[in-house]
Amino acid sequence: MKVLKMPFQVGWDITHNCNLRCKHCFFTASQLSDKASFSKEEAITFVEYLANKKVFHLSLAGGEPLLYPHIVDVIETATKNGMLVALSTNAILLTEELAASLRNAGLTSLQISIDGSSKENNDFIRGEGSFEKTLNGIRIAKKYGFKILIAFVILRTNYHELENVFKLAIQEGAYGVKVQTFIENGIGATNKDKLQLKEEEIIPIISSAWQLKKKYQEDLELMLPLVQEVFEETKYAPEYYYKNWSCLGCQPGLTTVRVSSKGFVRACGSQTSEDNYVGNVLETPLELIYQQSQELIKWRNETNVLTGQETTACGSICGKGCRAGAAPNFAKT
């Protein structure tokens, strides 16, 4: 495989600070209280560097990225330099004034997290009052013309609401729903006994979601986890799930990396421990980190194969495509 000089896409936790403390969050409470971030000058310089190096997709997340004081300036700099920008938010802080500013800066789409179709289930995970506040944010986003993708995490407490979340997304004018699985890090690790489904439980849930994909395909774009039971249904899968495509799942370390609010680089967003840092963009150009990090080289060499078993060691739950899930088994050896 031809080795890239730079990743195509950079995910940036532009602030770790967050206004929620979701029970499944893969950051720790301490990380979510950390207000350290790039200065405006550092942020603009970094975005201009990425654009100059032909990184075409910048994914802004957190924490809650709307808490970053220079978020509009960052987005405007990126879009004016031809970059595609995505932003993941809980939408609680999205006012009409801010929505207008983000649109004027060139942002066109939002990924908005919600973990239930009802107040009871969502608020149990995300905090009292969050359901109505997020719905209000979604409606403001629609008013200002944003394309909306709903992000939903399958948990023991909400899996039965999956189809209702699809219906809610249609009702609120979202174009799609991204369904994710629980990650045992941060706050989530302390709540895993309450939230985490066993593999034998989650496989039929995901399989049923793929059946629902057929039902809703005319009205909703559904991005679903992959399990072996649905692996052959490529008619309904995005092209990167095809067996004859080398990426076979997510792309950390290959075409994408993640940058923290302090500039530290790691392969995957869900790996939040300092043990996973491979360099800092405020000290070393990302191009050099990407090309020279032995950790990233190891991820690339051990994950770009076509045969499932060698791709990762995490088993059938992700179709052998989730490198973060496999990392404890190979990335530090």
Residue ranges of the chain with pLDDT lower than 50?
234, 239-248, 303-321, 325-333
Quick one: tokens of 270? 């869900």
Residue-level pLDDT at 76: 98
Predicted model pTM = 0.87
137: cis peptide before it, omega within 30°?
A: no
252, 324 contact by CB (below 8 A): yes
- State the helix-helix crossing angle for 96-104 and 71-80, rounded to 10 degrees: 20
Q: Strands 84-89 and 109-113, how do they pair? A: parallel
| Domain ranges across the chain | 9-306
- State the helix-helix crossing angle for 40-52 and 71-80, rounded to 10 degrees: 20
Residue-level pLDDT at 88: 97
User: Is domain 9-306 in CATH 3.20.20.70, yes or no?
Assistant: yes
Could you give the percent of the chain with pLDDT greater than 90? 66
Q: Hey, how many other C-beta atoms are within 10 angstroms of the C-beta on 248? A: 23
